[in-house]
Amino acid sequence: MASSAPGDIAAAAQLACLLEAAAPKPGNVYPGRSFRDLRHEDFLCAAAAIGAPFAEAGDRPVGEIVRRAIEATRRWTRSNANLGIVLLLAPLARAAIVDPAAALRSGARRVLDETTVEDARDVYRAIRMASPGGLGRVEKQDVAREPDVRLIDAMRLAAGRDGIAREYATAYAVTFEAGAPAIARARRDGLEWNDAIVEAFLTLLAATPDTHIARRGGAVRAREASALAGDAMAAGGVRSDQGRAAIERMDRRLRDPKNTANPGTTADIIAAALFVVLLDENRR
């Protein structure tokens, strides 16, 4: 029987973070590949840190979960290792705890529809605390100012430029319709976790340019990264020697001193997809 106990939901969130961080996704941090200001150990610290806040997800609103998770993370690492992941996982974890009998996506949709202005304020505080790069300034509901709309409405305003916000606005369209199915399919085919995750990552990136790259490196660079992912998949991806060589070349191409070609948003969505897959496996 599946467990909806808060501790188990929190453990699934932590495991999703650990699995995502361990997989050698091109252009990202993983064991043996670091950025100047971010190492694999930072992701391990971040995964450990969110356990307690996520165990309370059934008793707290989404914004507070996000803020508390980022506060806990900052006590263990000064790097921004998990803001996008926390934003994606918080509504899913709350839905899994408060309405375990419902389908997870429909539960998450209800959780998002119930968010408030105070949720938006807590999330904005968390974003300022994490200080992600490349945010820039926008006219409406800029994170540098206090919001005056519900969290879901703020995310809808940002959906055109940010993949995390788009998942909120579409009730996790990519997570449930592409990411989780790709991971589950790869696992059914016998791929181990690392290969299943890399295959799903390439699938998502090939289909949609990464908004983190677009913000930091520009739209052309984001499209180039998607083309590289498509080429790696066409060569066989993780399932062939030629594909693995293409993935390695892609990894080298996406690295620069300022991390402007880091497909970080796609990686965050993979973490959410992993959480969905883990909970689905637990129900069997």
Please tell me the distance from the alpha carbon of residue 80 to that of residue 89, in angstroms, as a whole number. Answer: 16
pLDDT of amino acid 6: 96
Close Cβ partners of 262 (under 8 Å, ≥ 6 residues apart): 27, 28, 35, 212, 213, 216, 254
pLDDT score at 3: 60
pTM for this one? 0.95
pLDDT attached to residue 25: 98
Confidence (pLDDT) at 282: 76
| Secondary structure class of 35 (helix, strand, coil) | strand
Q: Tell me, what DSSP letter sits at residue 30?
A: B
Q: Please state, in angstroms and rounded to a whole number, the distance separating the CA atoms of residues 23 and 196.
A: 9
Per-residue pLDDT tens digits for 116-156 = 999 999 999 999 998 765 455 555 666 778 999 999 999 99
pLDDT for the residue 139:
54
pLDDT of residue 208: 98
Q: What are the residue ranges in the chain where pLDDT is below 50?
A: 1, 134
pLDDT at 275: 98
- Phi, psi at residue 30, to the nearest 5°? -160, 175
* Angle, vertex CA 277, rays to CA 249 and CA 79, nearest 5: 55
Contacts of 131 (CB under 8 A, 6+ apart): 80
| Distance linking the first and last C-alpha atoms of the chain | 7
- Please name the fold of domain 6-283: Triphosphoribosyl-dephospho-CoA protein (1.10.4200)
Closest CA to 34 of 48, 21, 18: 21
